[in-house]
Structure formats: structure tokens, C-alpha cells
Chains A and B, each alone.
Chain A
Amino acid sequence: MSVDDKANFAAGLLVVLVGVTVAAYAASSYDLGTLRRMGPGMFPMGLGLLMAALGAIVAIGAAVRVPGRPAREKVSVEWRNAVLATVGVIAFGLMIRPLGLILAVLAVVIIPAFADRKNKPLAVLVLAGVLAALAVAIFHWLLDLPMPLLPMGLR
């Protein structure tokens, strides 16, 4: 199996699992109703089963060997980019309410910035300061969106 086939096989199986889980959960938690008067569970159950079937098609398609398939080079996962960018966004989500816009913006700029090795600490701090000022100017003064600017105790 090529890298592509392996990935597709695993992805197909995962989709089958998700589909079956959704169908089972919908059937057991919600009223299915009748075909004439469908309950809230019928459509999701059908959708789950459909997903499982499609996942099976992908998995089987990958498992049945096709010789001569051009093997894709190994998929490289950009862990550093993915983790730092996502952590930055999560930090913003957790900080915005208790700590306010300014600190949340600093977090979402500074943490992900280090994903790119070309960024130097001092430049990142300047960038974060400029963007925080810009955010306050645009979203607080210009658009007047209701957002806390400072941490809870300091407001």
C-alpha cells in the first residue's frame, strides 16, 4: 500500500466508526418517529448510516490493491505551526472575557508568531503591541463592539 492508500484506509475506517456512532447515538437518544411523521432522530440516524457506507467505500477502495499507483511522498505534518496557531486561538478564547481584549490579542499574536522561525522576539513584541493598539482603535473606538479591554479587576 502506498502512503495515500494507507491514509485513505485509516480515514475510511474512522469515518465508518463516526457514522455508526452517530447512527447508534441518534437511534438510542432521540425519538425516531415514523416515515410519515419523522422524529428528531430519523434524519441523523440515516445520515450516520450513509456516512458509514461512504467511509466503507473509501476504505475498501484503498484496500483493494491497484498496482502502479504513484506513491505520494510522505505527508509531513507541520506540528509546530498547527500547535502554536491553535494554542494562540484557544488562549484568546479563554482570556477574552476574564482578562480583556488587550491581553487576549497579545496572546494570539505572540504565541503563534513563533511558529515561523524567521520571527525574532523583539519584532514579535513590537508587532503584538501595534496589533493590540490597532484592535482597540478599530473594534473598540471605531466599531464600538462590546468587549472588555482590561482584566476584570482593573475595569
Chain B
Amino acid sequence: MLDNLALGLQTALSFDNLLWCFVGVFAGTLLGVIPGIGVLAAISMLLPLTFQLDATAALIMLAGIWYGTSYGGSTASILLNVPGTPSSAITALDGYPMARQGRAGVALLMTTIASFTGGSIGILLLMGFSGSIAQVALQFSSAEYFALMLLGLVAASSMSSGAMSKGLIMVCLGMLFGLVGSDVYTGTRRFTFGMIELADGIALVALALGIFGLSEVIVSIGKIDAKDIDSRSIGLKSMKPTREDVRRSWPPMLRGAAVGSFFGTLPGTGPSIAAFMSYAMERRVSKTPEKFGTGEIEGITGPESANNAADQTAFIPTLALGIPGSATMALMLGALMIHGIAPGPQLMTEQPSLFWGLVMSFWIGNLLLLVLNIPLIGLWVRLLTVPYQWLFPAVLMFICIGTYSVNSSGFDVLMVAMFGILGYALRLLSFPLAPMLLGFVLGPMMEEHFRRAMLLGRGDPLVFLSRPISAVVLLLTLGLLLLGIRSTLRARRLRAQAAHGPR
């Protein structure tokens, strides 16, 4: 263990990796602050820039963007009442009232500290548990992998907002896009319609930037107005919390970290749900639950700690099993594969410097964020006052150049336009988009494992049930499906009852 830590620290502290860690967290905070750019769009916009880096530096930078957006996302929530990222949406509930009361500085400082606390606890768990999980996973065969991926996809569709059937449709659609290209076993070109550009499949960046970047821009144009921030009221002096603030913030931070760490590792959940759960919990344990929503500090420190803890623990299944639990982690996994690294339990033993370097860089990144966010808060606030009508054309430019630079392909940029329109239409019909990306990345892996398992099972589908771990995971999946169906039916019945009046 100590050897690993030393190796990781050595890797993370090399000049290049430090630099890219800094670039990542800085860019992450920047993009997190700007509303209308979610974490998925932020990562996919900057993904192409990492292709020239070596794999470790690339992952360090991408991870920095991921947890950096969580730090930055709360800034817009508190000052504008518009979340910078979805995982900070809940922070607006009590953060914005605090800003109205002239306590924006305190709220910003405390969310930063809460983020750091949650993040740190998440990293500790990541360091403690990844190894043993990877050990177990070494025994897994294709059947177990298929079952686990299925569980992840079903969980992702049932946890995302809206009907589970719609989430599952999006998973299927994503998988379908993932199958475009050459079949791994026979080399047959599938769904390319004779287009040479599609022979290698649809570019991950084009899909992600289309459905998350372009469609998000379309939705946000004309909606975001940054006029009502008084940027002079937020200085270092205004950030000083009272003793009472500090005393009341510790317990929520610790509870938030626990809640966040748990939901981070679960497939299909993630920082947004973690933040929401933490808020609900704080309200429950509070002696004055009715005051929530009026500027209670517990309402911001709990969720912010939770979403950062979840950001870190989400790496456990991704790095230890090679199975991403959320769309963002799918993007991270896609980045790994683009760099030619096979994700999975062997990663820790075969690429120890990558794994431990990445983990140790999380410490450095979280510390950098603490340093970046407190003195530079004025800069982020000023950024929020740049009118969105000038920001969004710049965002579109970065999307286009980013996509083009991956394969030097104008075709990929046209794909962005196509997926942008598709994403916008799906938003209008209230289909959740994140499961689609998860399906896109997991689809080809699932097909491979399914075919291999069936080959090993001599064509008998019972192979998935004859192995205990796979059987248990499949049962869990079935349970989730039944739960989803039950809650849908119950919601319908309640609505029907409400319509007929009380009996």
C-alpha cells in the first residue's frame, strides 16, 4: 500500500501531471460556473485536447474537470439561482436566499470547504476499497460482466427523472448507435449504409457534444440573464463565517460525505441524486425543518459535501471493474479506451502508476480547488456577469473545433449537428439523455460479453443463472425493474383517485 502511495504521489507530482491537473480543475471550475454547460458537455469539449497527452495526464485532467465543475457549479446556484451544473441545483434552494441576505460570501466559502471535505472522504474510500473490489472482479467471467452492465443500465434508467420505460428506450437507442461500425468478431460493417466515415463507428465526442453540448445551448439561448449580481459585494472579507456557521456546518458535511460516498458507487446514481438525498436528510434531522429554503447553512454544506464525495467514489466501479455507473463515467471510460487502455480489474496491477497517480492527483486537485476558489472567487463572479448572448457563440465554436480536431473530420462536426437536433427533440419529449450515453459506451462491451458467455455456455441462456454472482446481480436487476413498474402503476392509481375525489 505504502509503495503504491509513493508511486502515485511521484506520478501525480511530476511537472506535466501537475500542470494538467491544474488546467483540468481550472477549466472545470470555469465551465462549471457558466450555466448551460453541464459536466458532460464540459468534459466532451475538452476531451479532444487530451489526445496529445499520455494516458495518465489525460485522465488526471479530465477527472479535474469533473470534480472541478462541482466546485464551480455552486457559484451560479448561489448568485444567480440558476445551477451551473445539475448536481448543484439543490444548493440554490438555500444558497440563493443567503445571497439575498448579503451572505453570498459566506455561502461561497462554506460550499468550497464542504466540497473539499466531501471530496477528501470520497478519495479515502476510493483508496481503501478499489483494491479489494478489483481482487474479487478478477474471478469474473463474461456472464458476470454482462449482468453487472445490465444492472448499471437498468439502474441508470430507473434513477433518472421520468418514466423508466423512456430511460430504457434511451439505453437501447444509445446501444444501437454504439453498434454502428465493424463487428468485432466478423468484421462485418453494421449500419454504416456504405459511408466510409462510419466504418470505425460513431465518434464518442460527436455524440456527446451533440446531445449534451449543442442541445443544451439551444435550450439556454435567451434564458439566462446575469444582470442581477452585485459583484462588488463579494470580497474576501465578506466570506468570513461566524462561529455559529462553522459549528452548524460540520455535522451536515460529514453526513453529506457519507450519503454522497454511498450514492457515488451505486450504478445509475451520481452526484445529483447524492446532493438531493443529503438535502432531504438534513431536513429530516433538523430541529427546524420549516426554515429550509430560507437560507439555512445546513442546506448548502450537506449537499455540496455529498456531490463531491459522489464524484470521487464514482471512480470505484469505473476503475476497479471497468463498468461506469453514470454517463460521465462512461465518458471517462471512453477516454481511457481512446488512449488504448483496457479498463477493468487488471488496470490496478498492470498500470499501477496510472491508477495511483490518478488517485493521488485527486488530492492535489482538491487542494488546488480550495486555493483557486477562495481567492479567485471575484474572477468567477465576474465571469458570471458576461452576457450569455456572447458566451454561447463561443461555446458553439469550441464544440466545433473540439470535434473536428479528434479525427480532422468535417463529417464528425455534421454528426454533432445531427445529434444536437436529436437531443433537442428528445428533451422536448422529456426523454432522459444521460442513459443514452451510458448505453453507447456499454453497448458494444455488452454485446461482446453476451456473445462470449453464450459461446461458453454452448448456446444455453441459463449460463447467466448458473453462476452465483451473475444470478444474484440479475435478480437485483429484476427487482429494480419490478420496483420501477410498481411505482409507475401506483402513481397512475393515485392520479386516478385524486381525479375522482376522496372516497
Contact = CB atoms under 8 A, between A and B. Distances in A.
10 contacts: A7-B429, A15-B169, A47-B176, A48-B176, A61-B165, A89-B399, A96-B400, A108-B397, A109-B394, A139-B401
B175 interface: yes
B410 A66 contact: no
Contacts of A7: 428-430
A152 interface: no
Given A35-B459, A58-B169, A89 B410 contact: no
B165 A58 contact: yes
A36 B455 contact: yes
A85 interface: yes
B185 interface: yes
Interface of A: 4, 7-8, 11, 15, 18-19, 22, 25-26, 30-31, 34-40, 43-44, 47-48, 50-51, 54-55, 57-58, 61, 66-69, 75, 77-78, 81-82, 85-86, 88-90, 92-94, 96-97, 101, 104-105, 108-110, 112-113, 115-119, 123-124, 127-128, 131, 135, 139, 143, 145-147
A144 B366 CA distance: 30
B245 interface: no
Contacts of B221: 78, 81, 85, 112, 115-116
Candidate in A8, A54, A105, A119 with the most chain B CB atoms within 10 angstroms: A54
A58 to B, nearest CB: 5
Interface residues of B, number: 69
A89 B416 contact: yes
A118 B405 CA distance: 31
A66 B492 contact: yes
Interface string B433-460: 0000000000000010011001100111
B417 interface: yes
B416 A93 contact: yes
Contact of A44 (B179, B185, B399): B179
A75 B428 contact: yes
B200 to A, nearest CB: 16
Interface of B: 49, 52, 163, 165-166, 168-169, 172-173, 175-176, 179, 183, 185-186, 188, 190-191, 214, 217-219, 221-222, 387-390, 392-394, 396-397, 399-401, 404-405, 408, 410-414, 416-417, 420-421, 424, 428-431, 447, 450-451, 454-455, 458-461, 488, 492, 495-496, 498-500
Given A44-B176, A119-B389, A85 B400 contact: no
Contacts of A110: 393
Given A66-B496, A78-B219, A116-B222, A93 B190 contact: no
Given A44-B179, A85-B217, A96-B413, A116 B461 contact: no
Contact of A67 (B49, B388, B401, B496): B496
Contacts of A61: 163, 165, 488
Identify the 8 closest CB pairs spanning chains A and B, nearest first.
A68-B499, A36-B459, A93-B413, A67-B499, A40-B183, A35-B459, A116-B389, A92-B400
B190 A30 contact: yes
Contacts of A94: 410, 414
